[in-house]
Structure 1
């Protein structure tokens, strides 16, 4: 779905899908990847990648390995690895993540907590620039995935 060319993030396939037009309330415990394009209220714990699609509206506390937000999220998000907000994504609540990327137009209202990344000796750090964000946004619009 997201990974047509075998590159980019999120590159993992969606194992579970909650589609547009529906609403769900409760607690989700998911050991696979999950995509939400509808409305959800409650709590989400996901061992894989959680994707909130552009039509997704989530009011929940979220814990996942990776979180990709293209819709609206109201609540606290903990991403063990990375949290990505696209140009259409918004997060209203606290965010804790190893890596945080916000594309131009993305909205984050709340507190942010990040762990300092551990880097191997002699490794050079990389910087996410406006050009990188623009390229990822362009890939997402044209190919359905960000690289």
Structure 2
């Protein structure tokens, strides 16, 4: 009998440990945890976790990203980006969901898009409502 797991798995499939320094392009199908230093680009089908003492000078594209250390670069998260109380993010973010815990830092622009928002804007039937301002009295 197959077990259906709808919740994201946070097990670590690939680890760049403390004291390690890696440079280049990293592509992985599963989860990745960085506790050392990484310079380059990361593409993952799973969750990318940047540990508390980690530094990533990197553009990251993943299903989910958790920042507990420092990222210098842009992040695209298909589902969710979480910046923990020790996390520092210096770059732009595009995610379906953005969580910044108290103490976390985001220095950059953020864009939140729902997966259904991939349709062309011309197909939308909604018209934007004008802003209403109370009259000064």
Q: Structure 2-normalised TM-score?
A: 0.77
Residue ranges of structure 1 left out of the alignment (5+ in a row): 1-8, 119-147
Where does residue 56 of structure 1 map in the other structure?
54
Runs of 4+ in structure 1 displaced over 2 angstroms? 9-12
CA contact 1:22–1:39 (8 Å) conserved in 2: yes
CA RMSD of aligned residues (A): 1.4
Deviation, 1:12, is 2.3
How far apart are 1:38 and its partner, in Å?
Answer: 0.3
TM-score (normalised: structure 1): 0.72
Q: CA separation in 2, counterparts of 1:29 and 1:52? A: 15
- Structure of larger gyration radius: 2
Alignment partner for residue 13 of structure 1, among 11, 18, 28?
11
Paired residues, number: 110
Deviations, residues 20-73 of structure 1 (Å, cap 9, x unaligned): 111110000000100000000000000000000001100011000000000000
Q: Which gives a bigger RCO, structure 1 or 2 (Cα 8 Å, sep 6+)? A: 1
In structure 1, C-alpha distance between the alignment counterparts of 2:112 and 2:23, rounded to whole Å? 29
